Structure 1
């Protein structure tokens, strides 16, 4: 942490949050950190809020892999990406002084839409029908035509994203130490014409996933990237993979992914 002293705070502009951030900024300066106004000059990007704010901070600052992301929550409830609560400044200082923090790397999914629009996501990309009609997608793993999906849509999640939307539709929880992506169906229709695997499956970082949308009038899907929606018409193809890019986060050593899962769900 000694060489990472330039801090950028990502937060909403309401009065309560501004007052809270002012205190954190004073504390940071007091302990030898430098405040910067441009996230491109930062070594540490601190998000204030919850997991949603953390995901927005990562997205709005370009999924930087050359800095550390630091999640600070405003509410006393379990979060995946936020190890610290905004009023627990003593805990933050003690953790830094006593080497109780560690850096964890989370894989990022890379998405290209119709060979032109490129995006990243830290949790998941969800692709759903935009009209009251089943979605038909030809799914390829590498160059193998694996199945033709018909249903409401698909979720492709990272390991950290496996505990979110993916879990709500009975996807598996995946250890974040594995660089992989999980494919989970939304209300698939299985009959004599359409047949899918019918269960979530996990692909390694070496695999490439290609989704070709069958052009039957349902070409304006609802596309979700983490907690942000895209509006792209006449989508024909998604190319999805893990390209080695990671997001580095500051975490407490005694607060692992599985400890958070237990605390949140059990």
Structure 2
């Protein structure tokens, strides 16, 4: 790939910023073109949080853009390259190395207020000020009437984040799956809900119908798509499903680490 357009997104830490400047100089020397409007490759330097911000920044270009992620942070479930591999990665890209492949990652497709958003980790609808009330439908069939602090839906790769902290399952399957879970549900004789992780696939669509008028006000009911806070006043309905679109992340086959290896390294190994 010659003369491709790129952008670099790095976290704020000094070592990441230094690495970003080094990478930029090398890319410009290779006649790559820096642009923030229509890049073909987004280089990410940091941890998973930096990657989520990059996905949010280029949500509108996911059909085109490819991500190259250098680990330079605490958690790195999405990274495929160490920060010491810059020269190798640039050589592989320049030579169209056959071992440099696209790893397609599942995305959630969220439709709200006639807008379509995409999440690589999770989407959450929360209300930490007062009780959130919504009706949960699956494939237009009523599943439950939820009351509590919120609900969250994650991709299989996002299951190691907030979903794990809430007691959800860590999903290692390569199948296209999503997971629904409740946040602090009200549980008494008047209100009951599943209050267990629910695994769904691409044949399912979740619809959240907002019951309380107060929950339609952004100051009370917040819709958060990865790191993006949707601040518009919400309409009556939010739909969530697995997208046919996938996120394109570049990886080098001989260097590939399975999600199982990453989970063990992050949570189990000393």
One fold, TM greater than 0.5? yes
> Partner of 2:72 in structure 1?
74
Matched, 1:237 2:216: no
* Cα distance, 1:231 vs structure 2: 2.0
SS at match of 2:168: coil
Q: 2:169 & 2:155 partners in 1: Cα distance?
A: 11
Matched, 1:181 2:145: no
Contact 1:63–1:247, Cα closer than 8 Å, also in 2: no
SS at match of 1:79: coil
Contact 1:6–1:33, Cα closer than 8 Å, also in 2: no
Q: Deviations over 1:62-93 (max 9, x none)?
A: 25122311112324x44012222334435546
Distance 1:102 1:72, change over 3 A: same
Distance 1:3 1:27, change over 3 A: closer
* Cα distance, 1:53 vs structure 2: 1.4
Matched, 1:106 2:122: no
- Range with bigger deviation, 94-103 or 115-124: 94-103
Contact 2:5–2:35, Cα closer than 8 Å, also in 1: no
* Cα distance, 1:27 vs structure 2: 3.0
Q: Deviations over 1:41-69 (max 9, x none)?
A: x3221112221111111211225122311
Q: 2:208 & 2:241 partners in 1: Cα distance?
A: 11
Distance 1:215 1:10, change over 3 A: same
Distance 1:165 1:128, change over 3 A: same
Distance 1:88 1:214, change over 3 A: same
Q: Deviations over 1:91-141 (max 9, x none)?
A: 54687677554321111111122x42332211111111142x322211100
SS at match of 1:110: strand
Aligned equivalent of 2:116, options 118, 122, 141: 118
SS at match of 2:123: strand
Q: Deviations over 1:230-260 (max 9, x none)?
A: 2233542211112301101012433122211
> Partner of 2:23 in structure 1?
24
Structure 2, unpaired ranges of 5+: none
* Cα distance, 1:185 vs structure 2: 0.8
* Cα distance, 1:182 vs structure 2: 0.8
* Cα distance, 1:176 vs structure 2: 6.1
SS at match of 1:53: helix
Contact 2:56–2:227, Cα closer than 8 Å, also in 1: no
RMSD across aligned positions (CA): 2.7
Q: 2:191 & 2:64 partners in 1: Cα distance?
A: 45
**How does 1:136-215 map onto structure 2 within 5 Å?**
136-175=133-172, 177-215=174-212
Structure 1, unpaired ranges of 5+: none
Q: 1:145 & 1:36 partners in 2: Cα distance?
A: 49
Count of aligned pairs: 260
> Partner of 1:8 in structure 2?
7
